[in-house]
Amino acid sequence: MQNGVSVIIHKSSIIQQGLKNILLSHNIGISEIMNTFPVCAVLNNWKNVLLLIDNQYVSEFKKHRKALKKNGNILIGVSISAVFNEFDSFFDEIIFINDGPDSIINKINYYFSDVSDTKTDNQLSIREIEILTMVAMGYSNKIIADKLFISIHTVITHRKNITFKLGIKSISGLTLYAALNNMVDFH
């Protein structure tokens, strides 16, 4: 992903301004700020862009998620809630209303790295591999969150993304996958 290319799509001008200030204070550029979900023609032009999307647009977003991901975009939901909901799993990451500026920047900066360094053949990010390894080792969501200095909600989001990407729903299946791919050593 190119460093510093982002788009904010949120209904609230206060949240738009807050995100804008946080991003600009960390030299992350903003190419557009929108208060409604854009039309398909606009979406197709975005490639390798960090999209910060109001998670209330989930129904419109779901229709275009596959194309947006195919174009190398990173999809971050912006939630006015402080709790994870089932729709948040459609995003690569979630920014919650109670996240501070440092937490928001940490979540965003995770994706500003060389894409070839962050993906495996199965398209799991380095963070997802870390979490999968910890799940296979029997760690709870809370312990994983504490060890990686992220929120439990972020752990849950990553676990849902891992399940979606691998098509494996059970912990035992994920553990077997991790063992077969030399991510953990049970000897």
One domain for residues 130 and 102: no
End-to-end CA distance of the chain: 38
What span, in angstroms and rounded, lies between the C-alpha atoms of 112 and 122?
20
Strand partners of residue 52: 8, 76
What span, in angstroms and rounded, lies between the C-alpha atoms of 90 and 96?
15
Please say whether the beta carbons of 16 and 10 come within 8 A: yes
pLDDT digits (tens, 9 = 90+) for 58-103: 888 888 888 888 888 888 889 888 777 777 777 888 888 888 888 8
Task: Give the model's pLDDT for residue 119.
Answer: 41
Q: Domain ends where: 77, 100, 115?
A: 115
Q: Is the pTM of the predicted complex or chain greater than 0.85?
A: no
Task: Give the model's pLDDT for residue 11.
Answer: 92
Task: Give the model's pLDDT for residue 114.
Answer: 41
Query: Residue 75, SS3?
Result: strand
Please say whether the beta carbons of 62 and 71 come within 8 A: no
Whether 95 maps to a domain, the answer reads yes
Cα dihedral across residues 116, 120, 122, 124: positive or negative: negative
One domain for residues 125 and 56: no
Owning domain of residue 140: 119-182
One domain for residues 19 and 98: yes
Q: Which strands form 74-79's sheet, in the order they lie side by side?
A: 30-34, 6-9, 50-54, 74-79, 93-96
One domain for residues 80 and 150: no
How many domains is the chain partitioned into structurally?
2
Which CATH number fits the domain that encloses residue 31?
3.40.50.2300
Whether 31 maps to a domain, the answer reads yes
Q: What is the mean pLDDT of the chain?
A: 82
Q: State CA 66 to chain mean position distance.
A: 14
